[in-house]
Structure 1
Amino acid sequence: MRYDAVIIGGGPSGASAAIALASQGRAVAIVERSAFPRNKVCGEFISPVNLALLDRLGVGERVRALAGPEIRRLALFAAGPSIEARMPRSQTDAFGRALGRDVLDLLLLEAAAAAGATLLQPWQATAAVRDGDDMAVSIERSGERRTLLAPVLIVAHGSWEAGGLSSQPRRPHLPSDFLGFKAHFRGSALPSDLMPLLAFPGGYGGMVWADQGRMSLSCCIRRDRLDAVRAAQRGLPAGEAVFRHITAACPSVAEVLRDTTLDGGWLAAGPIRPGIRDCYAHDIFSVGNVAGESHPIIAEGISMALQSGWLLASELAGVAEWSRAGRELAGQRYAAAWHKQFPLRILTASVLAGLATRPLTAGLMHRFVSVFPASLFVGARLSGKVTPVPGIG
């Protein structure tokens, strides 16, 4: 089967690219290994500038109808008293909101199908090799095998997913790796318009009200600290051990979660791979955190995923012929647009993560924010919360 573009991964980055390309009249196939709806480790916050982009992708109205309340305030929950600041507004005066990944991803994938994309789900891409002027993508499902051909191959499978593709290299486990955890709670006393940053020994996290009365708590913790936490709390599952570690270190977290019930179990994933990688290399375009990943401390993962897929589709639309030379030109333009849009938030996230997870600097960070609460506002702006999306009015 031949297409104009094959996209590996049906999350926000892959779906946004698929919707935009299919809307341009391109024949697009999405290869997604998981059945939807499915949950994922993710902070679930959607910055306000993405609402106009979601409108262009055809799901804005549904997202507004289903998402949690507007987030108008920020906070720091650490060892001392909580500290609050206002959330910056976007140019349209909108505020960000949160939506569970089980809901958001399904909305976007359905929109991709409605736009004309072919969904191959659940199928797993196992190899991708050059075949003349096309890429040949091998996919498998329950012993069945197919080969898809397309001049444009887009990897959107995320940096945590293991596999046999060149974009999924094996990496050694390191004590300094950050592992991610997430759970939903019901009955929290967290104010509906507040999104706190959590800072605790060896890690950081966040909480936000999402959809269906669910409050989402997500966090990252260093592997060596996780080992120590689990050793001190023998017999507890990893997620529960991390949760107790957080509530012991952050009294404000314990307070707002005192009378809650867990909605489902704890999810775990990782390690995360913060940093900037190639947007286009070896005839493969990368979107989402395959292209580059920030520490989740700034809650911009969904934003970067949606926007990178849109940026790539926009640059491909500007190249009339997807020949080898055309793809190289689109790759150069996409890389330039990507590096204009995202590096500052990746740097901001790296600095904040470093401050929040080290005992000495975490204390200094808390004291500084307590004296200058507006630093939370500044950090939100630097993290891209209100940075306009190119090509979106």
Structure 2
Amino acid sequence: MDKHFDAVIVGAGPAGTAAAIGLAQQGRSVAIVERSEFPRRKVCGEFTSAINVDLLDQLGVGAEFRAQAGPEVRRVALFAAGDAVEAPMPKGQGTAFGRALGRDILDGLLLDAARAGGVTVFQPWRATKIVAGVERSSVTIELATEQLQLKAPVIVAAHGSWEPGKLPTNLTKINRPHDFLGFKAHFIGGRLPRDLMPLIAFPGGYGGMVWADHDRLSLSFCIRRDALVAARRASSDGSAAEATFNHILRYCPGVAEALRGAELAGPWLAAGPIRPGIRRAYADDIFRVGNVAGESHPIIAEGIAMALQSGWILAAQLGQFDTWDSTARAAAGRAYASVWRNQFATRIRLASVLSGLATSTNGAKLMHLVISRFPVSLSTGARLSGKTKTLPKFTACIVK
């Protein structure tokens, strides 16, 4: 059975839903395909910088975000070997600060807003094939023994860089010793000041902590595969997550103090390897948003921001055209890629430099030495990472 739309989006994370809502607001018929059932937990730092709260308003979920998210993050810190170092979080426009909301809640809010805006949601369906066409491309989706063909001139990949599959936009998984693997857990209790978000630096990895919704303290971190092997040898616990957690507690007294008396809320999550870098935003007549378009080392805590903004930017570029023939799609693809790089390239490169420094031999100690002498560098780093960079203003066509 064939179903026809203006756009088909594969993936219902923040990038996919932002693109879907933006296109639906233009009067386009949009379908989202999502393989997972919600609510779902994700390996994610969960922090959303203040500039993105305005975007959440445009997406229709700003009020719910404010009602449920954790406290405002007004300070940043470095937790490494030695004493903690703190600095103010830079502010963007207005008086708001960033906050954290669990992906098990945020993703659901955004998908509900997409449904309310007229987006057709296929969940839990899996996209198994994309066949490009001149006028319309075809996406094959499957659920158990049922199969559908979704056809549209615009196809958007929003499935992330970790998603396995045989789509032309799925990334090949290659296991290398220097790969980074990600872990995440929530804790109840703890002693972290509620307005503080520390960067955690330890041998072979880095991470972050922040208070999220429902008094959950979120801890997420990445560690190089070779460092993980060493950490597991040094730990009596058999799991990779617990071994790395013990490794962090040994090297970061600030983390040990912040989690003193806290209890693990739910199981550890693991994902990866992460694939930082800038990829093609439009290729083979498929648009890419979120991590599949480009990915930053999580050390700068900009994953959700980049996902939301990339989806919204794509919708705005496509909105410059009344109809989406092959010429219009190519023009939109070029414009989208240009705006994407202007918005995100600097923070991706900065994150790569910081990640390399933090995980190098004695890198965490060097970071602590420099930041101890110049605490303002924490605020500067937060600003350079994009936490105060506004989105360009767009005017899109409204399709009647």
Normalised-by-shorter TM-score class? over 0.9
1:327-352 deviation digits (Å, cap 9, x = unpaired): 00100111111011001110111111
Which residue identity lines up with residue 9 of structure 2 in the other structure? I
Q: Find the residue that maps to 1:30 and give its secondary structure.
A: strand
Indicate yes or no: 2:89 matched with 1:87.
Answer: yes
* Residues 122-165 of structure 1, C-alpha deviations (whole Å, 9 max, x = no match): 01101101234211101111121111100000000000111110
CA contact (8 A) 1:197 1:297 kept: yes
In structure 1, the partner of 2:398 is: none
Take 1:367 and 1:210, find their aligned partners in 2: how far apart are those partners?
Answer: 30
Equivalent residue number for residue 180 of structure 1: 182
| Matched AA of 2:86 | E
**Alignment correspondent of 1:260:** 262
Shift of 1:234: 4.5
CA–CA distance in structure 1, aligned partners of residues 22 and 135 of structure 2: 23
Matched, 1:300 2:302: yes
Distance 2:269 2:16 in 1: 22
- Is 1:378 the counterpart of 2:380? The answer is yes
The 5-angstrom pairing of residues 241-320 of structure 1 reads 241-320=243-322
Which of 103, 106, 125 is the aligned partner of 1:104?
106
Deviation at 1:235, TM superposition (A): 4.4
* Shift in Å, 1:360: 2.5
**Mean CA deviation greater in 136-145 or 275-284:** 136-145
CA offsets per residue over residues 75-103 of structure 1, 9 Å max, x none? 00001100000000111121000000000
Aligned partners of 2:73 and 2:194 also within 8 Å: yes
Q: What's the secondary structure of 1:49's corresponding residue?
A: helix
Separation in 1, partners of 2:286, 2:318 = 13
- Which secondary structure does the structure 1 equivalent of 2:318 belong to? helix
Secondary structure of 2:50's counterpart equals: coil
Q: Which amino acid aligns with 2:368?
A: H
The answer on 1:223 being equivalent to 2:212 is no
1:367 counterpart SS class? helix
Instruction: Return the alpha-carbon distance in structure 2 between the equivalents of residues 369 and 38 of structure 1.
Output: 37
Map of 1:1-393 to 2, 5 A cutoff? 1-391=3-393
Q: 2:110 is paired with a residue of what secondary structure?
A: helix
Q: Which amino acid aligns with 2:38?
A: F
Counterpart code for 1:160: W
**Alpha-carbon distance, 1:364 to partner:** 1.5
Question: What is the CA–CA distance in structure 2 between the aligned matches of 1:300 and 1:235, rounded to whole Å?
Answer: 31
How many angstroms does 1:389 deviate by? 1.4
Letter in 2 for 1:283: D
**Alpha carbons 1:319, 1:329 under 8 Å: kept:** no
Separation in 2 of the partners of 1:383 and 1:131?
A: 38
Identity of aligned residues (%): 61
RMSD: 1.1
Distance 1:325 1:280, change over 3 A: same
Deviation at 1:182, TM superposition (A): 0.2
Indicate if the aligned counterparts of 1:52 and 1:392 stay in contact, CA closer than 8 A.
no
Aligned pair count reads 393
Structure 1 residue ranges without an equivalent (≥5): none
CA distance in 1, matches of 2:249, 2:394: 41
User: 2:162 touches 2:171 (CA, 8 Å); kept in 1?
Assistant: no
Which letter maps to 1:281? A
1-structure distance, mates of 2:265, 2:164: 27
Distance 2:133 2:304 in 1: 33
TM-score (norm 2): 0.97
Contact (CA 8 Å) 2:316, 2:394: kept in 1 or not?
Answer: no
Cα distance in 1 for partners of 2:315, 2:392 equals 12
CA distance in 2, matches of 1:172, 1:216: 29
- Taking the aligned partners of 1:311 and 1:357, their CA distance within structure 2 comes to 33
Cα deviation code 1:219-251 (max 9, x no counterpart): 000011111111222442111111111111101
Does structure 1 retain, via aligned residues, the 8 Å contact 2:81–2:364?
A: no
How many Å apart are 1:392 and its aligned residue? Answer: 7.7
Displacement, 1:362?
Answer: 2.2
Hey, what's the Cα distance between the residues in 1 that align with 2:362 and 2:217? Answer: 30
CA shift at 1:169, angstroms?
3.2
